[in-house]
Chain A
Amino acid sequence: MDSSQLLGITTFTYLFSTILYVALLVFKAPRLGFFATLFTVIAWLIQTAGLALRWVESYQMGIGHAPLTNMYESVVFFSWTIIILYLLIEWKFKTKIIGAFAIPFAFLAMAYASFAGEINKTISPLVPALQSNWLIAHVVTCFIGYAAFAVAAGLGIMYLIRSRSTTSVLPPLDVLDEITHKTMVFGFIWLSAGIITGAIWANSAWGTYWSWDPKETWSLITWFFYAITLHARYTRGWAGTRVAVLAILGFLSVIFTYYGVNFLLSGLHSYGSA
């Protein structure tokens, strides 16, 4: 068994998780809920093992580094973070319905990582600039933020659906609104930390903490976007539909920062496309 097999299996297990949660939404059978959670936890453990094994494999190849250094690895970590975050929300807020809207993001990320042609899956050594603990901190913090924003977008979608249907299995609007906000706040802190660790890394590698390259700039744009959302909510009372729409738009900005910039614009971070 090697890491790529484990991670390949994860793609399908997350698909199955998604199906279970959607089935739960449709059939409203509580027993199903138990299995959906159990299955997702197992899938997540398999993925954790896959990531750990990939780490070990890199050491066996003599180029040991944490599995967080190229596009493939970061997408896998992104989906991993979405699942753990979702499970925490399920546990804290005691609602399983969100799974049908959050887990698809993790599945899509894994499917993209596994099947997209432009993604290179091999474990490759690190060029000198990437050999830094700040880089690891940077990737981890950014992706926790991104995962939170993904979940917030899922919640935003739920909110919009819920607000347009009268009888619904979805949680009440005020609960959705609350969780969306909390998730965005959580993401905002991690994104802030991600931008900061990135700046520290840049400063230790070439003496400039901020150089306005497209990736940096887009992460700042995303950060501004969420700062605007927080202020609109906190000081102008925006809530409900508006914040749900902002949660979705914000995530589009995240995707562009993370994915669009690598392929559509060029800059220092283009290592991600290798």
Chain B
Amino acid sequence: MNIITNLWKFFSSVKLALFTLCALASTSIIGTVIPQGETYSFYVKNFGPKWAQFFHILDIPNMYYSWWFLGLLGLLSANLIICSLDRLPRILKIINSDNFAIQPERMEKMAYFKKWKVTSKADLPIDFRTIFNKNGWKLRGQKQKDGEMFFGQKNRWSRIGVYIVHLSILIIFAGAIVGHFFGFKGSVMVPEMKSTAKIYTFKDSQSIDLGFEVRCNSFLIEFYDNGMPKDYRSNLSVLENGKEILTTDIEVNEPLTYKGITFYQSSYEGYQDFIISISEKNSGEGKRFVLPFQQQQTWDVKSLRFGIINVKANGQRVISSKIWFTVGGEPPVTQWLDDNSSSIITVGDRTFTLSAKQMYATGLQVAKDPGVWLVYIGCISMLIGLFMAFFLSHKRIWFYRQEETDGIVLYLSGSANKNKQDFSRLFKKLEERIDSTIHNSIQID
């Protein structure tokens, strides 16, 4: 019994909280100074073998996931849970307390208190509550044996703001744990016009089956005038059993989510191959071809032969390409085409719309994180809780009218757990209101 009481005391103490928070804050610095996630030989090279060994023992290369750091987070959680369980009943008692069950003597001991004694009843208002109404306070009355008690309060639930903040931290941790065990993070490169049903995890490069296919229809980079990248965009289709379910563009900051799996635009790779789109004007028929640089390709039905014979590039990026194009027995035509913009070529009596673009693979980061909603709920509740804890004050006003043989005694008292200055201003105003209401009565006190 005793040991349980002591354990409870230990885990509910704010001292432990201060210790844990200090420990978390100071040890977190280590991982910002010592590079994380490098190989053992990296640490040997940069810090010497002794240190590398030491780091290894303490899991420093991966310190935010090490047993001792997670242990500190666990300690924080235990502390939060027990501390809250320890205090919450008392807080709920305050919130739900019967505020009418209070004696005038108790009222006199409150931080805000004022007492009047009136001997002539004549000028007293019938209902004192109107005084409070003017200041936005609705008081309820209750007859008591020698008088009437009035009570009103505001923001009583703000008292649990702190507990919402504490709970929100636990919710965020829960979200992180759910994400860790039931989610994954990985990536995949998908060349244009190809699809994939697998991705590869970051952690151990294992392949994961998506359960559907993702096809990259096209990938596009746009640049600013100064050469900085402006936009990476992939047009993706989701296919199930070969059937197209949906098609959409993704960009950095605008991912695609399907069945809980989210695809983020993260990188790309340029190839030396080209994608050529050809459509015939008269028939309206069109087709896309992938062809390597300087190789000939045919579209037999239309008796077309074509190839890319030259390119202008800026680094790895093709600016324009020169196409060689022939129809049937006509003499071949060559023409420069800007990358990814269409041109019209007429050969004999046939007209075609042509475009050539460098072929890319889009680099997708793929994540499934069923815990993220918990994390977001935790974040929102943290902000709500902080607001309640800091800006809302539980204000209470008591007013008691006591009948005595030689007159009436009026008691006014109040309490606020925050923003005391605001409250004392309010209290002064109420005092003055009552003063002026009973102005004509004879007062003692």
Binding site for B on A (CB under 8 A): 63, 124-125, 127-129, 131-132, 134, 185-186, 188-189, 192-193, 196, 199-201, 203-210, 212, 214, 217-218, 220-221, 224-225, 227-228, 231-232, 235-236, 261, 265
Contact A127 B379 (CB under 8 A): no
Contact A192 B228 (CB under 8 A): no
Given contacts A192-B386, A207-B262, contact A217 B253 (CB under 8 A): no
Contact B253 A228 (CB under 8 A): no
Q: How far is the CB of B265 from chain A (nearest CB, A)?
A: 8
Contact with A along B350-372 (1 / 0, CB 8 A): 00000000000000011101001
The one of A129, A206, A231 that contacts B18, using a Cβ cutoff of 8 Å: A231
Contact B31 A217 (CB under 8 A): yes
Report Cα–Cα, A265/B226, bound state, in Å. 28
Report Cα–Cα, A195/B33, bound state, in Å. 20
Contact B36 A203 (CB under 8 A): no
The stretch that binds A, out of B20-28, B38-46, B90-98, B207-215, is B20-28
Report Cα–Cα, A265/B28, bound state, in Å. 14
Contact A131 B252 (CB under 8 A): yes
Report Cα–Cα, A186/B185, bound state, in Å. 36
What residues of A have a CB within 8 angstroms of the CB of B265 in the complex?
128
Given contacts A125-B224, A205-B252, A205-B253, contact A265 B33 (CB under 8 A): yes
Contact B21 A206 (CB under 8 A): no
What residues of B have a CB within 8 angstroms of the CB of A231 in the complex?
14, 17-18, 21
Report Cα–Cα, A189/B64, bound state, in Å. 25
Contact A125 B230 (CB under 8 A): yes
What residues of A have a CB within 8 angstroms of the CB of B255 in the complex?
204, 207
Binding site for A on B (CB under 8 A): 14, 17-18, 21-22, 24-25, 28-29, 31-33, 36, 64, 176, 185, 224, 226, 228-232, 251-255, 262, 264-266, 365-367, 369, 372, 375-376, 379, 382-383, 386-387, 390
What residues of B have a CB within 8 angstroms of the CB of A203 in the complex?
372
Q: How far is the CB of B285 from chain A (nearest CB, A)?
A: 36
What residues of B have a CB within 8 angstroms of the CB of A225 in the complex?
25
Contact B383 A193 (CB under 8 A): yes
Number of A-B contacts (CB under 8 A): 102
Other than the known A125-B226, A128-B231, A200-B379, what 15 A-B pairs have Cβ atoms closer than 8 Å? A124-B228, A125-B224, A128-B232, A189-B386, A192-B383, A199-B379, A205-B252, A207-B255, A207-B262, A217-B28, A217-B29, A217-B31, A217-B64, A224-B24, A265-B32
What residues of B have a CB within 8 angstroms of the CB of A201 in the complex?
253
Given contacts A192-B386, A208-B367, contact A214 B228 (CB under 8 A): no
Residue of B nearest to A207 (CB): B367
What residues of B have a CB within 8 angstroms of the CB of A129 in the complex?
252-253
Q: List 28 A-B contacts (CB under 8 A).
A: A124-B226, A128-B253, A131-B252, A185-B390, A189-B387, A192-B386, A193-B383, A196-B382, A199-B375, A200-B376, A204-B254, A207-B264, A207-B367, A207-B369, A209-B372, A212-B64, A214-B31, A217-B32, A221-B25, A224-B25, A227-B21, A228-B18, A228-B22, A228-B25, A231-B14, A231-B17, A235-B14, A265-B32
